[in-house]
Structure 1
Amino acid sequence: MKTSVSRAPLIVLCLTWLLWLIAQWLATPALALATAAFPAIASLWAVFVAQRRPRVTAPLRQRQADPDLLARDVEEALACQGHILYRLDLQRRAYDYISPNIEHLIGAPESALLRDGGWAHVKSRIPPSDAEQIRQRIRAALAESPDGPCDVELEYRLRDIHGQTRWLRDSVRLVRDANGRVCHTTGAAIEITETKTAEQRAQVTLRAIDDAVMATDDAGRITLFNPGAVALTGWQEDEALGKPVDALIRFAPTLDQRPAALPVDTVLKTGVAVRCAEAMTLINRAGQRIPVLDSTAPIQMSGDPAPVGAVIVLRDERASSESLRRLNESEARYRTLVESSPVGIFHFDREHRITFVNSRFSDILERRADQLVGLDLRSLADAAVLPAVRSALEGHQGRYEGPYHDARSNRDIRFSIRTAPVFDAQARIVGGVGIVEDYTAKYDAERKLRESETRYALAMRGTNEGLWDWNPLTMELFLSSRLMALLGEAAESLRTTSDAWLARMHPDDRDVYYLRMVAHLKGETQHFELEFRMATHDGSYRWFRSRGIAQRDETGNAYRMVGSMGDITARKRAEMQLTNELAFSRTLVDSLPVGLCVARRDGALTLLNPYFGRLTGYTIDDLGALTVSDLIVAEDRPLIEQRLERAYDEGTAWAETQIASRDGRRLPVSFLARRVTLHDIDQLLCIATDISERKNAEQQMRNLNRELESRVADRTAQLAAAVKELETFSYSVSHDLRSPLRAIDGYARIIRDDYREAFTQEAHVLFERMLAAVSRMSDLIDDLLELSRVSRRPLNRKRINLSDMAETILGALAQSQPYRQITTRIDPDMRVFADAKLLQIAIENLLGNAWKFTAKHADARIHLYSTRAGDETVFCVEDNGAGFDMRYADKLFGPFQRLHTDRDFEGTGIGLATVSRIIQRHGGRVWAEGEVDKGARFYFTLGDIDN
């Protein structure tokens, strides 16, 4: 597994050397401040290294001999250090294993997270940005390692049960299956919130230092370049990182013309810090010459004297007058670092008085800082910590780990204290510094675990199982009272022999029992376990489950065997019932008249019922080499694969497709896929229903529809031709009749005018009737021509204001008969989408009829309005004129159909036929309602697009 080395030790070590170098440069009293600060950081560093120093103990050989014991020790050690171990099954999207200590972060116990939804619960606590970064890191790692397992180191945030953000470092191994797909991951996560916080604060501290601070690796390449170095040298950080230090930092020759350079190589070779006693002249990137003081120190890890790098500090001597101010700022930064420390820190003088505490120390003791500063440590009610304090004042490192009773709050806590002496410039002990870590919560958790284990042991004593104890040397067998009760015996306990015990066992189970027992006694199995039948007191057999383990001497021979036995008859009956139900279900599935199969996510078939086999021609033996896609025709496979994915995601999917049978036939089916869980694995239940008969019926229906459409088209063409011939005939007849009609009218008028006095009065009347008949015939011809034009004229729909059109028509009628007194009313702003010319002809006919048939009424009224009827607009022309008998309403809109004589009301009988033709061409309908001498109402619509 890959590991990552935190930069916190390097940054802390850099700060340590930096403060030491500052102390060397500054004079008293600033020197005292720097040296007082240095031991505290040195102590922090010592604790940091001590906590990570590997420990090798005597039992290591025992662990090497027993890998399982070593694995458990490693797991427990990692858990004690705060590691959270887990194993995630990516196919189930669920945890196979996770450490119990996950509960203090997530708030859910281990058992809850191991169920479905546990992984989703943990994932929901990771910020989306971090989740996306994790996905990118994993994709990159998989791309770099296309084969075999892949390791990746992740750092991300996690929201804990209190809503606070925690940082985790997760060492993840991605494991592939035989097909090269990632099937599961294993990982070890540890909280690094404090480390992250310390790194960030250390980075802030380092970047806040005015001096130029640089760090190199063991090859002299720059690995750290703070803003002070950028300001002093003129090189940007991204330009400097990775470059040799000599390539960027140049010095002018000394006064005696000797070359000047940084002693990085010397420090890396010797491991000894080098400080220049005199200022050197730095030539920065811009060519400026700046006097600087240089100090170079090695970076050494604990236990290894070989330097792993060097720290270089350059001080601009142009600002030496501000050294004290900078030291004060450094001291303030140090205090910030100490105040932000996750451990409690306190200083004390030689009189055991506390001189400084950080906020964490105050939190541990639940007191304010002003209550602790000045407190004599010897006045504490619990003196357990005093030996560690005295050790520091005597010049040694002190340590105490254990309980502490706080009398002020009357509470017991557990913490560890590490102390170290603090020296002045003359190496005299002036006090000490202490670091306190509170592990009360961890101790309480361990105590609760022990109590839980005790309760579990007590609970086992109260279970419904009996105990047995067998001596394989003497063949004596002891049965507990509970076991005797399970066998229906009244005795409290029984000492018997193994032969008597076997005699009560069902004959069919004795051989298996004997073989299992012998195998365990020989050490071939870890423990003994078997389910068998035993005779009870009434002679009936009941099922029991027995488990036991042998105790062995130094040579490995078993001298005792103990175990438990419980009645599992009810479970066995339930299993038998379940077996019968499964057999019934299998019979039902095999009898279904539809094809049924079960497939994994990759499409591989795991079950195929006989009907599916009959449909496709495949047998059960062909399952291993088939997938669902293999059963589908090639052109439909992408569709079915997409439907299968939808079924996995949404639960169900459906499609119509064709099955490709083994002999090449194509069979149309209705294909239904539904997600089911079998053996704790999500699979797909696929049902294929033969729809050949339905498809044949649909094809026959389509053929009939095509034949019907062809017949309709032929009949429509015939009707169109007939209508065309009829219109042509009507138009020709109308034109051919005009010439003789005009001749009759002309000659009749000449005779009437020239021979007026030769005719009798009766002859004059006959001539007038003849001329009136000619005029009526002319009107009929005009109306027929108009009706013919209405039928042939193309529609040109547009938006029309029907109200304005009606107002114009009624105005023209009023001018033609100014003597008429008629009340007209038209609803305003009635708009339609129609042919303007055709609609005007229709409205002229309707309003003209209303005007004509109200002529004999003194109080004549005409009203044009509209209403909504369902999803269409209905228009109406209403009058209070002569009206009509509703028995003849169906004749109103036929050509030459009149319900009144010419003596009553003149007309040709073509007007309403023209109206009907115009309305029908607009896709509308027209109808009328009336009553004799009480008026009439003519309704019409203009189709679906009239409004």
Structure 2
Amino acid sequence: KKFLPHRLKRARPDGTVLDIVGKPLPGGGMVTTYTDITEQERFAAEIRRERDFSLHLIESVPGIFYLIDEDGRFVQWNRNFEVVTGYTAEEMRAAHPLDFFEGEDRQLIEERIGAVFATGTATAEACFKTKGGIKRPYFLTGERITLEDGRPALIGLGFDITERRQAESDLARQTAILQATLEAMDQGISVVDGDLHMTALNRKFCELLDFPAEMAAGGAAFADFARYNAERGEYGPCDVEEKVREMIEQARHPQPHHFRRARPNGRIVEVRGNPMPDGGFVTTYTDVTEQEQLTQLLRTTLDNMAQGLSVFDKDLNLVVMNRKFIEIMEFPESFLAPGTPFEAFMRFNAERGEYGPGDIEELVRTRVERTRRFEAHRLVRQRPNGNFIEICGEPLPDGGFVSTYADVTERVAAEQALRESEARFRRIIEQSPISMAIVNMDGTIEFINRKAIDTFGYRPADIPDMGAWWVKAYPDEIYRTMVMAQWTGLVTVAIAENREIEAREYQVTCKDGSIKTMSIFGVPVADKVFVMFDDITDRKRAENAIRQLNETLEQRVRERTAELAASNQELESFSYSVSHDLRAPLRALNGFSHLLEEEYATRLDANGLDYLARIRAASKRMGELIDNLLDLARVSRQELKRVAVNLSIVASDIRETLEEHAPARKVRWNIMPDLMVRADPVLAKALIENLLRNAWKFTAEREEAVIEMSASRQGGETVYCVRDNGAGFDMAYAGKLFQPFQRLHDAKRFEGTGIGLAIVHRVLRRHGGRVWAEGIPGQGAAFYFTLP
């Protein structure tokens, strides 16, 4: 009643499929059409199956699948593409194939895409970049196809080749390692395959056998090497081709082989070869020329040994012996041959009585059986002829043994003499008036003499070793540790330098508790140390008494010195005070005499004026003396402050002052630069000024005066010198030079008060230095001083 348009498909029981379409009519009613679409449905189902198969196939590909049109848009891709790249479907639709590559790889892929559209197919290996920036190597394919709409497109697959690249890298590395190993071998090596071609060899192979470089190429025929050797005489005189055929036949059926071959150049090569499971063989070549020479040298050495030597293998057969063995043991020459059984030697010895009386076979059997259970041994045996033989035997790691034989007849006699000598020596030690002990290197005390027992009270049972001695003789742990360390060090040094043990003084506690001062020393001899104890207790007691007396005397000297210093200080203070107080009356005397001369000169006769002049000269002289006394006192009173002083600069300043006051004088100055000292700057200036003024004064009569100031190293100290070519002095009066107011020259000839050199002496004494002078009358003087 209410008809609506409709369309539906219905499958009939017979399998046919109808397409039913119904529509309403304008005036009411309806019209319905029925179409048989069975074939169409079958065809569509077939298409769906093929499509589903293709999609399943694409999704099943282990790599990535892509379909790209000529504009570079992705038409289709598999799910693995999204998984690998991290892109979503939306991002894939907007992506371009080149977005997944960078640099040279991007350029390569662009070229290969163009090649596919141009030629139909192409492949490439490139690093494929994911959304996260990770790059992995991929093998990519491309093939041109035509889409349903007729447009060309590129279809292809990509496979992750990381593992393949790694495998290739590993193979290349292993190949390189193998080749490097071959080249690093000290042996030559060659590998020949089943077809008798050289598949591998190293440089050492060519060097050892002198093959040319062109033969080292891989794949060379074994026959070529055989022919080359035959032609140059490596195998001796032979028919070349016949020899080559013989060697090829041997190579076709390789067997393990080992031999040594002397080459024409004199070198000896050891050849070892072994067949390979799949045919062919490997051969090594070793230059054993030096080894052969060493073998001969060893034989010569063995035969020149002072000892006999024999080596037997695990089967008790002779391997090697030297001639000295035959001589010492007096075996026949026939026994020299390698392989001679040990039993033959034993029988020979038993038959000639080396082992004393008894059944020969029993003696032999006993020794052979004992040797089969060989143990290291060392023994001395006396032979029937009276000689003593020392026999030492050591087992070998792989069985067998090595033995040495030495004629020790003289040594045995010497040891007997030594034992007798030691017995005599012990008797001497026992009777020695000094305490003595013999200590072995393992610390055991081998012997202590009677004097030591009496001195310390310890018997041998009380101190069997050094450990017991340390504890008993030095009960205080701290002191014991110090003594042990010091004594051990002294012994070590003495042994290393092959000299006596240096003596040291120690406080040793005796068994009764008393403490004695001992001077302990010793001598290392062989594997023992002879220790001697000198009791210096009484001497040390006397030394302590003397030291206490000396300390008392030194204290008295210090007290007396302090008293003298105080007295001198008072005297200097008094001198300074007196000199200072004399200035006032002296100024008055000088002033009034000056007024008297000016105002009353006309009233005085000639004698009066002369007396007045003498008064004024004396007052001037007295003023100078007072000034000098004050200067001398000031040197003694001034506080000493040491700083760095450049004496050269001080001397130059004084020189300028002297030249300003007497510009007409001709003086040649030689002042060494940078004479540095640590001294009080004021006193240092007074020192240099008085020395230079002294030189300036006593060179006044020289037309060309010379004044020098220098320094030099003498006896580990710096000695300074002021030298001039002036009046000089007589060395007989040198002791008066540095005394106050002492003059060695006429005051009319050289003015002065005689206080300058006294100031020099006092300045240097305050600095802990020294001063002395040398002079020759008429030839000059030199003043030397030190400033520590």
TM-score (norm 1): 0.46
- Give the drift of 1:465: 5.3
Cα drift, residue 526 of structure 1:
4.6
The reply to whether residue 668 of structure 1 matches residue 517 of structure 2 is yes
Q: How far apart in 2 are the matches of 1:586 and 1:900?
A: 81
Distance 1:828 1:740, change over 3 A: closer
The alignment partner of 2:773 has SS state of: strand
Separation in structure 2 between the aligned mates of residue 606 and residue 808 of structure 1, nearest angstrom: 81
Is residue 822–residue 862 contact of structure 1 (8 Å, CA) maintained in 2? no
State percent identity of aligned pairs: 26
- What is the one-letter code of the residue matched to 1:943? T
Alignment of 1:771-790 (within 5 A): 771-790=616-635
Amino acid at match of 2:427: T
2:766 to 900, 917, 921: 921
Q: Could you say if the C-alpha distance between residues 622 and 379 of structure 1 is closer, same or farther in structure 2, counting changes exceeding 3 Å?
A: farther
CA contact (8 A) 1:867 1:875 kept: yes
Tell me how far 1:596 sits from its aligned partner: 2.9
Give 1:727 deviation, angstroms: 0.9
Q: Deviations over 1:149-200 (max 9, x none)?
A: xxxxxxxxxxxxxxxxxxxxxxxxxxxxxxxxxxxxxxxxxxxxxxxxxxxx
Structure 2 residue 468 is matched with structure 1 residue 597: no
Output the amino acid matched with 2:481.
R
Tell whether 2:488 aligns with 1:656: no
Q: CA contact under 8 A between 2:739 and 2:757: conserved in structure 1?
A: yes
Go from structure 1 to structure 2 and tell me whether the alpha carbon gap of 1:637 and 1:672 turns closer, same or farther (over 3 Å shift). farther
Is 1:714 the equivalent of 2:559?
yes
| Counterpart position of 1:453 | 318
Farther-moved stretch of structure 1 (401-410 vs 867-876): 401-410
**C-alpha separation in 1, matches of 2:725 and 2:649:** 19
SS at match of 1:707: helix
Q: CA deviation at 1:827?
A: 0.9
CA contact (8 A) 2:773 2:784 kept: no
Name the amino acid aligned to 2:438: C
Is residue 582 of structure 1 aligned with residue 447 of structure 2?
A: no
Aligned to 1:372: 222
Letter in 1 for 2:470: S
Q: CA deviation at 1:876?
A: 2.9
Q: Secondary structure at the match of 1:795?
A: coil
Structure 1 residues 436-491: Cα deviation after superposition (integer angstroms, max 9, x where no partner): 678998x9999998999376499766545599xxxxxxxxxx9999969x9xxxxx
**C-alpha contact (below 8 Å) 1:670/1:690 kept by paired residues:** yes
Q: Which amino acid aligns with 2:707?
A: H
Q: Which moved more, 1:316-325 or 1:640-649?
A: 316-325
Please give the secondary structure, in 2, of the residue aligned with 1:621: coil
Structure 2 residue matching 1:622: 3-state secondary structure: coil
Counterpart of 1:828 (choices 652, 671, 675) is 671
CA RMSD of aligned residues (A): 6.1
Return the offset for 1:785.
1.8
| 1:927 partner amino acid | A
- Any idea what SS the aligned residue of 1:619 has? coil
- Helix, strand or coil for the counterpart of 1:774? helix
Partner residue, 1:558: none
584-593 or 326-335, which moves further after superposition?
Answer: 326-335
Of residues 346, 359, 370, the one that matches 2:192 is 346
What SS class does the counterpart of residue 929 from structure 1 fall into?
strand
- Do 1:544 and 1:567's aligned partners in 2 also have CA atoms closer than 8 Å? yes
1:223-302 equivalence runs, <5 A: none
C-alpha distance 328-356 of structure 1, shift in aligned 2 (>3 A) = farther
Is this contact kept in 2: 1:530–1:545, CA < 8 A? Answer: yes
**Within 2, Cα distance between the matches of 1:684 and 1:401?**
62
Offset of residue 643 of structure 1: 4.7
- Structure exhibiting the larger radius of gyration computed from Cα positions: 2
Q: CA deviation at 1:850?
A: 5.4
Q: Matches of residues 87-106 of structure 1 in structure 2 within 5 Å? A: none
Deviation at 1:761, TM superposition (A): 3.7
Answer yes or no: is the 8 Å Cα contact 1:382–1:405 preserved in 2: no
Once the two structures are TM-superposed, the CA of residue 742 in structure 1 deviates from its matched residue by 3.6
Native 8 Å contact 2:205 2:285 kept in 1: no
Higher RCO by CA contacts (8 Å cutoff, separation 6 or greater): 1
Deviations 1:337-370 (A, max 9, x none): 5995798643224xxx557465599999997663
CA distance in 1, matches of 2:570, 2:446: 73
Q: CA 1:607–1:363 in 2, change beyond 3 Å: closer, same or farther?
A: farther
Residue of structure 2 equivalent to 1:194 = none
User: Does the CA contact (< 8 Å) of 2:705 and 2:726 recur in 1?
Assistant: yes
- Report if aligned partners of 1:532, 1:543 keep a CA contact under 8 Å in 2: yes
Give the aligned partner of residue 259 of structure 1: none
Higher mean displacement: 364-373 or 584-593: 364-373
Describe the superposition over 1:53-98 as per-residue Cα deviations: whole angstroms up to 9, x where unpaired.
Answer: xxxxxxxxxxxxxxxxxxxxxxxxxxxxxxxxxxxxxxxxxxxxxx
Using the size of structure 2 for normalisation, the TM-score is 0.54
8 Å Cα contact 1:651-1:674 kept in structure 2: no
Change (3 A) 1:381 1:924: same
Tell me, in whole angstroms, the C-alpha distance in 1 between the residues paired with 2:168 and 2:658: 111
One-letter code of the match for 1:734? Answer: S
CA–CA separation in structure 2 for the residues paired with 1:689 and 1:588: 17
Q: Is contact 2:490-2:502 (8 Å) kept?
A: no
Contact 1:381-1:406 at 8 Å conserved across structures = no
Q: Cα–Cα, structure 1 residues 944 and 664, in superposed 2: closer, same or farther, change >3 Å?
A: farther
Q: 5+ unaligned residues in a row in structure 2: which ranges?
A: 1-83, 85-131, 140-156, 228-240, 300-310, 333-346, 372-378, 392-404
**Counterpart residue identity of residue 618, structure 2:** A
Aligned to 2:488: 644
Contact 1:598–1:686, Cα closer than 8 Å, also in 2? yes
Partners of 1:382 and 1:406 within 8 A in 2? no
Counterpart pick for 2:547 among 676, 693, 702: 702
Greater mean deviation of Cα atoms: 320-329 or 821-830: 320-329
CA contact (8 A) 1:466 1:566 kept: no
- Aligned pairs for 1:298-317 (under 5 A) are none
Q: In 2, Cα distance between the equivalents of 1:404 and 1:806?
A: 93
2: CA distance between counterparts of 1:457 and 1:879? Answer: 90
Q: Secondary structure at the match of 1:318?
A: strand
**1:611-640 CA-partner distances (Å, limit 9, x unpaired):** 444443322223446425334463142452
Cα separation, partners in 2 of 1:898 and 1:453, compared to 1, 3 Å: same
Q: Is the 8 A contact 1:894 1:912 kept in 2?
A: yes
Deviation at 1:580, TM superposition (A): 1.5
- Cα distance in 2 for residues equivalent to 1:888 and 1:458: 92
Preserved CA contact (<8 Å) 2:193 2:281: yes
State whether residues 803 and 829 of structure 1, in contact with CA within 8 Å, keep that contact through their aligned partners in structure 2. yes
Q: Which amino acid aligns with 2:222?
A: L
> Distance in 1 between the 2:176 and 2:655 partners?
101
Q: Amino acid of the residue matched to residue 193 of structure 2? A: H
Deviation at 1:773, TM superposition (A): 2.7
How far, CA to CA, are the matches of 1:766 and 1:383 in structure 2? 148
Q: Please report how far the alpha carbon of residue 823 of structure 1 lies from its aligned counterpart in structure 2 after TM superposition.
A: 1.8
2:460 matches 1:620: yes
CA-CA distance at 1:435 after TM superposition = 5.0
Q: Distance in 2 between matches of 1:654 and 1:399?
A: 74
Q: Is the 8 A contact 1:600 1:606 kept in 2?
A: no
Q: In the aligned structure 1, how far is the partner of 2:748 from the partner of 2:576?
A: 29
Aligned counterparts of 2:672 and 2:327: Cα–Cα separation in 1 = 93
Q: CA 1:935 to 1:453, structure 2 compared with 1: closer, same or farther past 3 Å?
A: closer
Q: Secondary structure at the match of 2:639?
A: coil
Alignment check: 8 A CA contact 1:519 1:525 kept: no
Secondary structure in 1 aligned to 2:724? strand
- 1:229-628 residue pairs with structure 2 within 5 A? 318=159, 337=178, 345-349=191-195, 353-354=196-197, 356=199, 358-359=201-202, 370-372=220-222, 415=272, 417-421=274-278, 432-434=279-281, 453=318, 456=321, 463=328, 526=370, 573-592=413-432, 593-601=434-442, 603-624=443-464, 626-627=466-467
For 1:846 and 1:412, the matched residues in 2 are separated by 93
Q: Does 1:942 align with 2:782?
A: no
Check conservation: 2:271, 2:285, Cα contact below 8 A: yes
